A and B are shown apart, each in its own frame.
Chain A
Amino acid sequence: MSTLRQTVSRWLAPLRRQLGRTPVLAFMLAFLLAVLLEQQVGENFAKSLEFRKIPKFFGLVDIFEPFSDLDFSGILAPFFPSPSMDVETPIQDSGAAIGELVSTFWNALFYQGARNPGFFSVLVRVLVYDIVIFIVPILILALLLRGPTLWVLQRLPRWLALALHLGALYVVLMLWGADGGTRELILIYMGINIMLSASLNLVNGYMGEFSVGHAGFMAVGAYVSSVLTMVFFTNSSVFGPALLSPDLGLPFGFIIALLAGGVAAALAGLLVAFPSFRTRGDYLAIVTLAINFIVTGVINNMEVVGGPRGLNGVPLWTNLTWIFLFTVLSIAAIYNLVNSTLGKGIIAIREDEIASSLMGVNTRKLKLVAFLVSSFIAGVAGGLFAHQLAYVNPGNFGILKSTEALVMVYLGGMGSISGSIIAAVIFTILIEALRPLAVLKWVVIPLILILLMLFRPQGLFGFRELKLNLGLRPKPTQGQPTETEASDAAAAD
């Protein structure tokens, strides 16, 4: 076994070494070309693999589709029959349901047919599709492009090189992602989740507090920005005709509404920041939980915004460009904060609050900063979320949403921005991919979390950052670690 692994890794070693020297930009450009390739031949190739259309999101969304028929309710239902149900012996009925479940599961794994292909069949075909359309072309093109991109990058000033990365990322996202369908939706949720997990990581990971009510701030931002855009820029049934012209809504109205939502969320963040001066740890966690409930409770009782029925008719303004813009800005803000002197102070509070105050760290001020920034970003994310759903409802921002944010932070690793980004990406894809499993999704995802805590409790990148090869010129100052792009990664100093 080990010899096989050694042989394989020896085989792959030169390739890995070559790819390690290839800058990220080359991969991005290669991906761009692969996307063009997919646009040319993807449809036909997918059809020849017996897909009805191009696999969604690299096929990740398709793989679990065969399991969508699994019915778990039949197992327990006989034990708790409804009046209309005729159940003689619950055990037998339940047993029958289990039998049916097993056969459905078996069919989902193996059943071959044009309409209902089995899991393994889909998996193999998705792999073939991805390898032919994406993986192989990207590897080859990235290696070919390595020289030219390095040549260009080394001759550009740093800021221009970084801007080039962001620009390339944006072009890739727009060209591949802005399909107005599944991809765009997943990418939008991805951006929102990145903002949520990175901002929560500021408090939970960098400052070492345990905030469990992040969705509360999101709710404040979502509602405030929605009400603003509806009152001022939309003719809605709830608030009547627009106070200002609907033409002003994009882009200025939206920006202002989102920022106002962020400010409102930051003000709500004060409700946590002030208690945090006097209490911490588990007790502060309870405070944050309480604030999550207070926020949703207040909204539930505000008839103006629809109470528990929610607010309908929020303009559908969020798109990939907005998400890209605010995600990049949020990550840049958090990255700069945690790498600044203030950020060192925040980390010192995590390590030992008393010792840090003895070194001149103004712990109250830094707690304020951390909670304000964190809840501000959560509020903006909430605004984007509302303008994506076109409908907000207090139920969207309950403890489950807060838990999702926590899962992403601990999956990615505390005190790691790149960890939070990668975890948000993985988590979003996982949620979408496991959607066909319905209820089972909430068994599989916690299970993944339990396994993670058992085998990698520090998360994917606990207190470390992913280092990407951006192919930049090293900074003139000596002794600095390789500098990396703000939105991607950096050395954890």
Chain B
Amino acid sequence: MLLNVQDLHVSYGAIRAVHGVSFEVDEGEIVTLIGANGAGKSTILNTIAGLLSPNSGRITYQGQDIGGLDAHKVVQRGLALVPEGRRIFGNLTVSENLRLAGYQLQADERARRMKRVFELFPRLGERRDQLGDTLSGGEQQMLAVGRALVTGGHLMLLDEPSMGLAPILVQHIFSILKEINAQGTTILLVEQNAHMALKIAQRAYVLETGHIVLSGPAAQLASNPDVQKAYLGA
């Protein structure tokens, strides 16, 4: 088991966003958390990444407790979050963005990883000297994923990678996520676009108002009448 979350509780001041969520991610999997707005999906990812600290519960990664660690320490363990809204550095160029992503790396290792990103996303290579703000939405999402690859995720956490993208671009991004996964990166994906998420994931959890209400193999959930009704618009 790569990542194990046990009975996680998170709140923003008095507002409790996540209460008692448990799930796990195995080595090499693509796991998705789906759910509506406000279900607590992003809160869970941000807590794992160290941007928020849990009220209670355990988060273990490769058997070690990472709950409550600062974000920059979580990164050192090999988790990389692609945050909601991409958060790329708009005033910096594509390659500067990627170079910063390898902030903790030696120069040669960083160069190796950047090269891999440019191979996965040739578009980014073409635009390496362009400012982040001048990229299209899809390119920005590619850059956000590319940054996480450079930062060095053994486990990549993605928060709504499909947000604000045209369907064709969503398909492109998801096919690359599959490729990244095939090359050995485990993926935990949070999505509102349940349709796409269930297509590439092996397993899925359904969140409602801070609780997990359903879980199982993605294909099985996709054919579940309740899920279809609530999330797949069937």
A positions within 8 Å CB-CB of B:
341, 344-345, 347-348, 351-352, 354-364, 463
In the complex, which of the residues B50, B92, B147 contacts A351, with contact meaning CB atoms closer than 8 Å? B92
Q: Is the CB of B103 within 8 A of A357?
A: no
Interface of A is mostly: helix
Known contacts A352-B88, A361-B100, A362-B70; 17 additional CB pairs below 8 A are: A341-B103, A348-B89, A352-B87, A354-B71, A354-B83, A355-B83, A355-B88, A357-B50, A358-B49, A358-B75, A358-B80, A358-B87, A359-B102, A360-B75, A360-B103, A360-B104, A463-B91
Residues of A near B101 (CB, < 8 A) are: 359
- A351 pairs with B51, CB closer than 8 A: no
Contact A351–B90 (Cβ < 8 Å) = yes
Question: Within 8 Å of chain A (Cβ to Cβ): is B43?
Answer: no
Max chain A Cβ within 10 angstroms of own Cβ: one of B70, B76, B92, B103: B103
B89 and A352 form a contact (CB under 8 A): yes
Q: B87 and A354: CB pair below 8 A?
A: yes
Contact indicator per residue, chain B 63-98, by CB within 8 Å of chain A (1) or not (0): 000000011100110001101000111111000000
Question: B151: CB under 8 A from chain A?
Answer: yes
**Residue ID in chain B nearest A358 by CB atoms:** B81
Contacting A348 at CB < 8 Å: which of B70, B81, B100?
B100
Q: Which residue of B lies closest to A364 (CB)?
A: B70
Q: A344-B99, A344-B100 are in contact. Are A357 and B91 (CB under 8 A)?
A: no
Whether the pair A355, B87 counts as a contact (CB closer than 8 A) is yes
- Minimum CB–CB distance for B135 against chain A, Å: 15
Chain A residue with the shortest CB-CB distance to B79: A358
Interface size class of B (residues with CB under 8 A): 20 to 34
Number of A-B contacts (CB under 8 A): 64
Closest to A341 in B: B103
- Chain B residues in 8 Å Cβ range of A348: 89, 100, 103
**A357-B89 contact in complex given A341-B103, A348-B103, A363-B72, C-beta closer than 8 Å:** no
CB of A358 within 8 A of CB of B100, answer no
- Of all chain B residues, which has the CB nearest A366? B72
User: Nearest-CB distance from A278 to chain B (Å)?
Assistant: 13
- Would you call B75 and A359 a contact (CB within 8 A)? yes
Q: How far is the CA of A364 from the CA of B80 in the complex (A)?
A: 19
User: Could you list some 21 contacts between A and B, CB below 8 A?
Assistant: A341-B103, A348-B100, A348-B103, A352-B87, A352-B89, A354-B71, A354-B83, A354-B87, A355-B83, A355-B87, A355-B88, A356-B100, A359-B101, A359-B102, A359-B103, A359-B104, A359-B151, A360-B72, A361-B103, A362-B72, A364-B70
Contacts of B75 in A (CB 8 A): 358-360
**CA A361 to CA B105, docked complex, whole Å:** 11
CA distance A280 to B75 in the complex (A): 23
Q: Point out the residues of chain B lying under 8 angstroms from A345, CB to CB.
A: 100, 103
B151 near A360 with CB under 8 A, answer yes
A360, B103: Cα distance in complex, Å: 7
